């Protein structure tokens, strides 16, 4: 039962072959037994889950038609959940019990989902490997010596290990797609504004976006259907009609124009990852797609641009954690200045401090124009590159990451090397576009991902392509042997 997709579980629940309570108990038992190896959960909400499952079973008996009724899921611990700890992977919020639900938590609850728990993550979503968490690193189910990817590594590891059928994540520079690739999952970053950010603890407000991680594109479509839509509580939420993603999954790919950016294929790309991309192209061409070479000339500027804009926004957003109103407070402060300094110094980890310092520097009076304003101008150039590309092609394809998962601890002393892990994903966030990572092969038993980038609000097209690809391949059906039974 635990290896089933959401689509399969819904059919089982509809037929009455298993109750939601029974299903929830199966996953809770697996989490208790197996997560010690992975460290993918921060909080397990057993009582909440079983109570919600019983309610779901009662609703089903009354023929309630909620689209995801009785399906267990997990939330990244960046989403506020009423009455449940929301830590954001940080000591700073280790004692924070949210008084309200994030909008996507509310939406998925209304769709009938059951919350199994809150998943581990890089502290305040700052990281590419899920090693910066106050609660320790997340281990990859395919090989516990390897990273699971970040910052949504806990969500990805939990789904890949069959501890939950699906989970939510957030993507600021690749943090859904990158762990999806390294754990062999499908992960979708929607268009900026497609999914509400209300109740999602902010890292970089102009870049953050919530999305689903699941085994298949079909499951991602089911989750996005429930998550998407305008929200009056979020000023960046866009009032754009939400299509029926499930009805779009079986559209023909005949005549689809796929763009292949030359900038995605060069130094630093693992040869077997490149081979997997070429094989994926051949599969899509069999279905009628056409491949065109394109250029995204400002791609090389994406990482330096991101690491000016994102830290600047993080510096501003994290100023609220001062030891006064909520969160961690140091012991016996001597005065207000001591309270601020020691609460923040003790509450934040090294990577968060690094980004706050960078952000504060680029926003300072003497450097604002030279760094922050310049970065915003380059951001516009990167966006224009994509706009020009989408005047010629329907979708852009390339690798999600330059290599498969690396060893835990391998890059922690080299931040620049770590930042380069997101080289193919960051530009998408700067432009606010939707993108999806789907399983595309293996390198020495380690999964790798293929990235699809779409035009604004064309999540349905990405899900359609991924779903059709998954009808002809079985990469998405692979499960780590240790967690199969």
Domains contained in the chain, CATH given: 6-256+462-483 (3.90.1300.10)
| pLDDT for the residue 423 | 95
- The vertex-421 CA angle with 345 and 236, nearest 5°, equals 70
- Would you call 377 a catalytic residue per the annotation? no
Choose the catalytic residue: 90, 128, 129, 175.
175
Mean pLDDT (the chain) is 97
| pLDDT for the residue 9 | 98
Residues 6+ apart with CB under 8 A from 380: none
Tokens of 145: 């010596």
Question: Is pLDDT above 90 for 415?
Answer: no
Q: Tell me the pLDDT band of 267, cut-offs 50, 70 and 90.
A: confident
User: Are 326 and 85 a contacting pair, CB within 8 Å?
Assistant: no
Q: Tell me the pLDDT band of 427, cut-offs 50, 70 and 90.
A: very high
Q: Tell me the pLDDT band of 11, cut-offs 50, 70 and 90.
A: very high
Round to whole Å and give the CA distance between 150 and 157: 10
Round to whole Å and give the CA distance between 284 and 291: 9
- Would you call 343 a catalytic residue per the annotation? no
Query: What does the pLDDT look like over 339-362, one tens digit per residue?
Result: 999 999 999 999 999 999 999 999
Q: Tell me the pLDDT band of 485, cut-offs 50, 70 and 90.
A: confident
| pLDDT for the residue 164 | 98
Question: Is pLDDT above 90 for 204?
Answer: yes
Choose the catalytic residue: 20, 40, 76, 343.
76
| pLDDT for the residue 203 | 97
- Would you call 76 a catalytic residue per the annotation? yes
Choose the catalytic residue: 151, 196, 315, 343.
151
Round to whole Å and give the CA distance between 421 and 415: 10
Global confidence as pTM: 0.97
| pLDDT for the residue 481 | 86
Query: What does the pLDDT look like over 474-484, one tens digit per residue?
Result: 999 999 988 98
In this structure, what are the phi and psi dihedrals at residue 9, rounded to the nearest 5 degrees? -65, -35
Q: What is the mean pLDDT of residues 314-321?
A: 96
Round to whole Å and give the CA distance between 412 and 418: 7
Q: What is the mean pLDDT of residues 315-329?
A: 95
Round to whole Å and give the CA distance between 196 and 242: 13
Q: If you search the block for the tokens 């789907």, which residue do you land on?
A: 438
Question: Hey, which residues does 76 pair with through a beta bridge?
Answer: 119
Question: Strands 395-399 and 446-454, how do they pair?
Answer: antiparallel
Candidate from 154-168, 405-419, 452-466 with smallest mean pLDDT: 405-419
Question: Is pLDDT above 90 for 413?
Answer: no
Q: What is the mean pLDDT of residues 424-453?
A: 97
């Amino acid at each position: 039962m635990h290896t089933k997709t959401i689509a399969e579980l819904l059919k089982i629940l509809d037929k009455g072959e298993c109750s939601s309570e029974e299903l929830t108990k199966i996953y809770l038992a697996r989490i208790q037994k197996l997560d010690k190896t992975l460290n993918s959960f921060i909080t397990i909400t057993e009582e909440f889950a079983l109570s919600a499952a019983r309610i779901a079973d009662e609703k089903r008996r009354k023929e309630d038609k909620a689209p995801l009724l009785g399906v267990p899921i997990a939330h990244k611990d960046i989403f506020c959940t009423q009455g449940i700890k929301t830590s954001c992977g940080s000591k700073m919020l280790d004692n924070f019990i949210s008084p309200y639900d994030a909008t996507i938590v509310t939406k998925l609850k209304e769709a009938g989902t059951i919350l199994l728990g809150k998943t581990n993550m890089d502290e305040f979503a700052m990281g590419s490997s899920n090693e910066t968490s106050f609660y320790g690193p997340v281990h990859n189910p395919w090989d516990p010596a390897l990273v699971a990817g970040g910052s949504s590594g806990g969500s990805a590891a939990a789904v890949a290990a069959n501890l939950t059928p699906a989970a939510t994540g957030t993507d600021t520079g690749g943090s859904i797609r990158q762990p999806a690739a390294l754990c062999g999952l499908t992960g979708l970053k929607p268009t900026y504004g497609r999914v509400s950010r209300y109740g999602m603890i902010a890292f970089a407000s102009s870049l953050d976006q919530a999305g689903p991680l699941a085994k298949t594109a079909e499951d991602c479509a089911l989750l996005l259907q429930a998550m998407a839509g305008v929200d009056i509580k979020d000023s960046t939420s866009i009032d754009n009609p939400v299509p029926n993603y499930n009805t779009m999954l079986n559209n023909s790919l005949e005549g689809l124009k796929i763009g292949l950016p030359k900038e995605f294929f060069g130094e630093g790309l693992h040869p077997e990852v490149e081979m997997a991309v070429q094989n994926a192209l051949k599969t899509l061409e069999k279905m009628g797609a056409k491949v065109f070479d394109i250029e995204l000339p400002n791609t090389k500027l994406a990482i330096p641009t991101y690491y000016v804009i994102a830290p600047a926004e993080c510096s501003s957003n994290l100023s609220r954690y001062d030891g006064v109103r909520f969160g961690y407070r140091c012991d016996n402060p001597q005065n207000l200045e001591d309270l601020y300094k020691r609460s923040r110094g003790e509450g934040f980890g090294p990577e968060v401090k690094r980004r706050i310092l960078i952000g504060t520097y680029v926003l300072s009076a003497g450097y604002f124009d030279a760094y922050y304003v310049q970065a915003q101008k380059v951001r516009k150039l990167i966006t224009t590159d994509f706009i020009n590309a989408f005047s010629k092609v329907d979708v852009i394809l390339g690798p999600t990451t330059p290599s498969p998962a690396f060893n835990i601890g391998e890059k922690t002393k080299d931040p620049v090397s770590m930042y380069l892990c997101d080289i193919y994903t960051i530009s998408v966030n700067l432009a606010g576009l939707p993108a999806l990572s789907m399983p595309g092969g293996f390198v020495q038993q380690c999964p790798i991902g293929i990235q699809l980038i779409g035009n604004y609000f064309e999540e349905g097209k990405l899900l359609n392509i991924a779903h059709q690809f998954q009808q002809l391949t079985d990469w998405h059906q692979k499960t780590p042997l240790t967690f199969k039974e």
